[in-house]
Structure 1
Amino acid sequence: MTETALPDRSRRRYMSRPRLAVSLLFLMNGFFTGSWAPKIPEFAERLSLSEGQLGLMILTFGLGSIIAMPATGFFLARFGSTGTVKVAALMFLPALLLISIVPVVPLAVLVMFYFGAMMAMMDVSMNGNTVAVEKAEGRAIMSSCHAFWSLGGLIGASIGGFLIATLGTLGHAVVATVIAAVLLALSFPRLQPDAPAMDEKREKIRLPLTPLPWLIGIMALFSMIPEGAIMDWSALYLRDERMVSIAWSGFGFAAFQMTMTTMRFAGDHIRDRFGAVRTLRFCAAMSVAGLLLAGLSSETALIIIGFAIAGIGISNMIPIAFSAAGNLPGMAPGIGLSVTTTLGYSGILIAPSGIGFLAEHIGFAPIFAGLSLLHVIVFLLAPLARYADRQPDS
């Protein structure tokens, strides 16, 4: 192969226009999702919701997401990721405004379902566009895109309380919507164009019958269940079972989130250097060690360190799974992605409620230690990650 046949990586900009565009989409989606968290108390008070009723509302959000993800795969296969993500993002834009003004519970159920569905539709389609950029540029960018999502969620959750206290819940929604609209305006003209799978036979535009995408989906599911458990239950575990003060109980999740976000920004370089299979094996091994330390240790500092190590491991597991799902041979990218995202996000949206029920009987310590077994399975499934290393399109 001649030298001119290789990608000119030395002259290529780190942040190309298409990469910047899809990164802004992740930032916007994370920012909007994070902006929901500080609205929850006012939302529950306005609708006079009990804790159980609020839980059902949040479950409705999750159901909207899970139902929308497979359907989005069909849209990606028919219309391409660029057009689909633009429509999904514009439909997602009024969601916070609707949440802020909905007056009665029946309408709130519909709004929460809509919120979850549009978030998920945008999520799947922007992951599809990320795969298109990876193919065009011949390098990994999925991990850093997910890092921008984490950064957006952190920003949205951090400034939301201040904006609500200063401007009220509707004022906060207006400001957040304007910020999101600006991010979309900057992103849309720069998005990587991709063609729909019009050359695929119609029978391929359906849920796949081959086991490969489902195995990668299981890998994503097992990757995200421990992530959801740490997000939802780490503070309660530290406070109630390890008798840590309230001031310290949030440090477990904070350490996890910090290492996960940091490693996602570095994950693309690591994957390009060592390959997806070795990177995934390293991530799975780190997470197993971190979860075991968090679950088996009785020292607060070691538990927090365990969650931080788990964050290092979990950081790049989902980005690698999504890249692999979008590059499966003989399959439209949207179909593989829809299967993987549906199964994966089930682990973070639905599984934590079952974990909470189980913890009432056996406690959180054996649960966190036991969840490490899921990442042992991910380690064994790591050879499937080779599809994430596809070369750029000719």
Structure 2
Amino acid sequence: MSISNAALGRWAVAACFFVNGFMIGSWAPQIPLVASRFGLSETALGLLILVFGSGAVLAMPLCGYLIGRFGSRAILRITATVCVLSFAGLAFATQIWQIVAALVLFGGFLGAMDISMNSNAVAVERGLRRAVMSSSHGFWSLGGFVGAGVGGLLIERFGHVTHVGLVVAFAFAIVLAALPFLIVESRPAGRAAGGRRGGLPRNPLVYLTGVLALFCMLPEGAVLDWAALYMRQEMGAGIAQASLAYTAFSGTMAVMRFAGDGLRNRLGAVRTLRYSGVVATIGMLGAGLAPSPLIAVVAFALAGLGIANMVPIVFSAAGNQPGLSPGAGMSVTTTIGYSGMLLAPSLVGFVAERTGFAPIFIAFAIMLAIVLSMAHLVRSADTIAAQPAE
């Protein structure tokens, strides 16, 4: 593969990351409208969101198998196209079974697209002989920001149906422009050394990598779901100040993700993960022990700075496991990570009713410290220069 083709592929897969984040961000402002259209209680809405996430998690293992057989480019072309088009189902569903079916379809192809684009980003790293995973996730964050920010304005002015139509048209145009430039990755020939044909990988490192992904993703999800409530209920912050917790966290995360590839190319994956883990642990611990809302906001910003590059590095390590195709390693890691995020909100809420949120954020700091102590497990992410790419 020529460097010029890999460079084009780098921007093509970045566009896919943007679209994936944009679709999730565009779904967020539709959630309260779905609740009002179908008269859903908070419990029923929670179950509906669980259905959406379950569709994504259930699709991931199958997608990993298909990537191993046909390559990430072919699967990404299909999943990205169907993911964008399936968003239209949210506008035209008139009965509860229809919205459930639409969310299973949308969530399933969103999750499948997630694995496909991460696997293709690994192929780009091999082609360019340098890291691009962190900035790719930065484009995902940017897409989510644009989708959520613009979505609310469009719905308020034009209604939810027009919003869905504009989202599909915009995202589909990007997908059509990007898909021809996706690159083809090499795949292990025959039976992989770390797995069995048609079965689960036998390499234990890929499962440990999945646990690392879980420990990185749980704190990120907890800040999204619970930081504002923690600030309001336990620290007495006002509504505007409470919202700054996730704003600061996501803002520093997005900025650092775009800077992360340079750090990783200079320091290596293991050292970058260690330094990131130190910053993330201090930030999350500070959030749990903060004596005032202002200090908590600063601590959440620090946590975002540290967590930003942890998941991209872990994903890159999963896609570079010896003897496994990127899709096989990625599917195991993402399934473990996203399954935890799916169950975490209800578990955190249950525990918080009994302990408060401060001990929970301290517990997440301990999780991040465990990732820090196991940073050597991501050393396969430093082998991208030695991996072949077609």
TM-score scaled to structure 2, two decimals? 0.95
User: What does residue 216 of structure 2 align with?
Assistant: 223
**Conserved 8 A contact 1:204-1:331:** no
Alignment pair present for 1:363 and 2:356: yes
User: What does residue 55 of structure 1 align with?
Assistant: 46
Alignment pair present for 1:331 and 2:327: no
**Structure 2 CA distance, aligned partners of 1:219 and 1:205?**
25
User: What does residue 137 of structure 1 align with?
Assistant: 128
**Conserved 8 A contact 2:196-2:202:** no
Pairs within 5 Å for 1:285-300 = 285-300=278-293
Alpha-carbon shift at residue 14 of structure 1 (Å): 12
CA RMSD, Structure 1 to Structure 2 (Å):
1.8
CA offset digits 1:311-358 (Å, max 9, x no partner): 011101110011001111111221110000111112333212210111
**Structure 1 CA distance, aligned partners of 2:372 and 2:355?**
26
Alignment pair present for 1:43 and 2:34: yes
Q: Relative to structure 1, is the Cα distance of residues 82 and 256 closer, same or farther in structure 2, using a 3 angstrom cutoff?
A: same
**Structure 1 CA distance, aligned partners of 2:387 and 2:240?**
51
User: What does residue 205 of structure 2 align with?
Assistant: 212
**Structure 2 CA distance, aligned partners of 1:210 and 1:272?**
26
Which residues of structure 1 form unaligned runs of 5+? 1-6
User: What does residue 249 of structure 2 align with?
Assistant: 256
The structure 2 residue matched to 1:119, chosen from 110, 119, 122, is 110
**Conserved 8 A contact 2:248-2:297:** yes
Query: Counterpart amino acid of 2:292?
Result: E
The structure 2 residue matched to 1:89, chosen from 80, 85, 90, is 80
Alpha-carbon shift at residue 15 of structure 1 (Å): 9.1
Q: How many matched pairs?
A: 385
**Conserved 8 A contact 2:7-2:128:** no
Q: Relative to structure 1, is the Cα distance of residues 79 and 57 closer, same or farther in structure 2, using a 3 angstrom cutoff?
A: same
The structure 1 residue matched to 2:10, chosen from 15, 19, 24, is 19
User: What does residue 180 of structure 2 align with?
Assistant: 189
User: What does residue 4 of structure 1 align with?
Assistant: none
**Structure 1 CA distance, aligned partners of 2:72 and 2:106?**
20
User: What does residue 373 of structure 2 align with?
Assistant: 380
SS of corresponding position for 2:196:
helix
SS of corresponding position for 1:350:
helix
**Conserved 8 A contact 1:43-1:100:** no
The structure 2 residue matched to 1:234, chosen from 223, 227, 234, is 227
The structure 1 residue matched to 2:267, chosen from 270, 274, 279, is 274
**Structure 1 CA distance, aligned partners of 2:187 and 2:350?**
43
SS of corresponding position for 2:55:
helix
Alpha-carbon shift at residue 200 of structure 1 (Å): 3.5
Q: Relative to structure 1, is the Cα distance of residues 199 and 210 closer, same or farther in structure 2, using a 3 angstrom cutoff?
A: closer
The structure 2 residue matched to 1:98, chosen from 89, 111, 125, is 89
Alignment pair present for 1:244 and 2:227: no
Alpha-carbon shift at residue 247 of structure 1 (Å): 1.5
**Conserved 8 A contact 1:86-1:188:** yes
**Structure 2 CA distance, aligned partners of 1:136 and 1:237?**
44
Alpha-carbon shift at residue 291 of structure 1 (Å): 0.7
**Structure 2 CA distance, aligned partners of 1:334 and 1:15?**
18
**Structure 2 CA distance, aligned partners of 1:330 and 1:375?**
28
**Conserved 8 A contact 1:134-1:392:** no
**Conserved 8 A contact 2:76-2:116:** yes
CA offset digits 1:144-200 (Å, max 9, x no partner): 000000000000000001111222111000100011011101111111122455533
Query: Counterpart amino acid of 2:190?
Result: D
Alpha-carbon shift at residue 92 of structure 1 (Å): 0.5
SS of corresponding position for 1:94:
helix
Q: Relative to structure 1, is the Cα distance of residues 140 and 74 closer, same or farther in structure 2, using a 3 angstrom cutoff?
A: same
Alignment pair present for 1:318 and 2:306: no
User: What does residue 60 of structure 2 align with?
Assistant: 69
**Structure 2 CA distance, aligned partners of 1:85 and 1:197?**
19
